[in-house]
């Protein structure tokens, strides 16, 4: 499922821009600031410096397992 995978980028404050968390459903190879942070909050010359500060992680989960566990807990 597309909702079972995501890339999460945590970007701290940079110059006059506040920190922000970005989530996007992308493949593991595209899990980086340039593919996930949209719209880019900084102008072209600052993009590289901004992205170097962001921490991006690829996350997977099994929604089927989560649903089964919910049913067992509620039973």
Integer Cα distance of 45 and 11 in angstroms: 17
- Give the C-alpha separation, 23 to 56, whole Å: 9
Which pTM was predicted? 0.74
Q: Please check whether residue 8 is in contact with residue 21, taking contact to mean a CB–CB distance below 8 angstroms.
A: yes
pLDDT in tens, 23-44: 999 999 999 999 999 999 999 9
Please state, in angstroms and as integers, the Cα–Cα distance from residue 53 to each residue in 3, 60, 73, following that order. Answer: 26, 23, 40
SS3 content of the chain, % helix, strand, coil (to 5): 45, 25, 30
Percentage with pLDDT > 90 across the chain: 71
pLDDT reported for residue 3: 63
């Amino acid at each position: 499922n597309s909702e079972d995978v995501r890339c999460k980028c945590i970007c701290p404050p940079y110059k006059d821009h506040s920190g922000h968390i970005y989530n996007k459903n992308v493949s593991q190879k595209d899990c980086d600031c340039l593919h996930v942070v949209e719209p880019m909050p900084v102008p072209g010359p600052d993009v590289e410096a901004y992205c170097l500060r962001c921490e991006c992680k690829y996350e997977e989960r099994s929604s089927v397992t989560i649903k089964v566990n919910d049913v067992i807990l509620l039973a």
